[in-house]
Amino acid sequence: MADVKFLGLWYSPFSHRVEWALKIKGVQYEFIEQDLQNKSPLLLESNPIHKKIPVLIHNGKSICESMVIVEYIDETFEGPSILPEDPYDRALARFWVKFLEDQVAAVGKSNFLKGEEQEKAKKEACEMLKILENELKDKKYFVGDKFGFADIAANVLAIWLGVFEEASGVPLVTSENYPNLYAWRNEYCNQNKEYSPSRDELLAHFQALFPAKAK
């Protein structure tokens, strides 16, 4: 049996991407929770350049960056495919992953920042959400007819954004202003129940970061 270790954080959307891919493929692995305030020698050795999670260690070799790891898992292990079979659809999925990686930070900033910086981040986030809303028109998933690579990359919009909204009191996505994205988010959560961290635990964790807003 392959030796698979996974260095991550239970509350990290980037860790969750990797965990979901491993579970889709049915890969047995050892999860090693990390402390970013006191980084372990294993993490520093496995990711000496960025020194961050997630990291997958497979047969002693480390792979870094969440979506690079997801693609590696898809190519390496047997099981349901994560990337589409069709070359064009694969390219399209990679395009949306790149878009999300470049743009999704604005969502977090719209919750974590204050004042003018927050308003600027909210504007950027809404522009990004409008693009995704339009892309999901008459579609259940970002690419193809099943949940896949691009949907996994968008996980922060499915699970974490709702938690951020409740913890910070800054709503962004509703069924009225982004109906397609809202429907996609519900589909994501329904399909991903058994793989997702506890929403209550996530909320408690992030409410600690928004003490003035926490209820």
Mean pLDDT by 10 residues, the chain (215 residues): 90 96 96 97 98 98 98 98 97 97 82 81 90 95 93 94 86 91 92 86 87 48
In this structure, are 70 and 15 located in the same domain?
A: yes
| 213 within some domain | no
Q: Which of 30, 57, 76 is the endpoint of a domain?
A: 76
Separation CA 66–CA 12 (nearest Å): 11
Contacts of 151 (CB under 8 A, 6+ apart): 141, 142, 184, 188
Does one domain contain both 37 and 131?
no
23 and 42 co-located in one domain: yes
Q: Which residues pair with 31 in a beta bridge?
A: 6
Sequence-distant (6+) residues with CB within 8 A of 89 are 143, 144
Predicted pLDDT at 209: 76
What pLDDT sits at residue 170?
A: 78
C-alpha to C-alpha distance for 163 and 11, rounded to whole angstroms: 11
Same domain for 52 and 137, yes or no, is no
pLDDT of residue 213: 47
Residue 83, CB-side half-sphere exposure with 13 Å CA sphere: 24
Nearest-10 crossing angle of helices 105-112, 161-168? 10
Domain count across the chain:
2
Q: Do residue 121 and residue 52 come from a single domain?
A: no
186 shares a domain with 91: yes
- Give the side-chain half-sphere CA count within 13 A for 33: 2
pLDDT at 191: 85
Residue 97: give the domain boundaries.
87-207
Strand, coil or helix: 98: helix
Are 58 and 133 in a shared domain?
A: no
Same domain, 72 and 96: no
Query: CATH number, domain at 97?
Result: 1.20.1050.10
